[in-house]
Amino acid sequence: MHRLSPIVLALSVLTTLPALAEKGGSPKEAPLAEDSFYSLETKTLEGKPARLGDYSGKVSLVVNVASQCGFTPQYSGLEKLFGELKDKGFVILGFPSNDFGGQEPGSPAEIRDFCTKNYQVTFPLFEKVVTKAGDGQSPLYANLAKQSGELPKWNFSKYLVDKSGKVVKFYGSKVTPDDADLRKDIEAALGK
């Protein structure tokens, strides 16, 4: 039996790694479609760059959130849903927005403080965005609207996004996180 010397073995590994890196880092990783929600980038609530591609392979519920809305108590249900399903490949992505009734006037620090103290939110929160069509609309919401044909009409509207970044379904503000049909749709998307 012919054995490779440790030096030859190490060199073969080192020459293979750059080729893997050029192809996306992993031979299993499929490239995202150009119109995939996960192909976009944004910023965290604290202003750090964030790649939505980090959530590729997970099922996401994208929600436009606000701290001073009649629907704000949905934060509790969202956090509960996230806690129950996060280990199964599910995530909630919260995007604060001041579009409806000026109900999210806070700074990033105020939003984080509010969400932590009042609802113990642990799911990812991102920078404040404009959801409405027109000047200043977030590319994220332009993408969601293009895929679903829907834009939020108020705070706490929800988009269910599959593992590849395609919108499965849109839900209005009145659909709560414990809604049986929403839960069934999430479970179905996770099962794919």
Domains of the chain with bracketed CATH: 31-191 (3.40.30.10)
pLDDT at 32: 75
Asked whether the beta carbons of 92 and 82 are under 8 A apart, the reply is yes
Among all residues, which ones are annotated catalytic?
118
pLDDT at 80: 98
Q: For the packed helices 108-119 and 74-85, what is the interaxial angle rounded to 10 degrees?
A: 80
pLDDT at 14: 39
How far is 40 from 93, CA to CA, in rounded Å? 13
pLDDT at 10: 41
Kindly tell me the burial class for residue 57, based on how many C-beta atoms sit within 10 Å of its own C-beta (0-12, 13-18, 19 or more).
middle
pLDDT at 192: 61
Q: What is the mean pLDDT of each run of 10 residues along the chain (192 residues)?
A: 47 40 43 87 97 97 98 98 98 98 97 98 98 96 97 98 97 98 98 77
**Closest alpha carbon to 166 in 27, 38, 77:** 38
Alpha helices per DSSP H over 130-179: 139-148
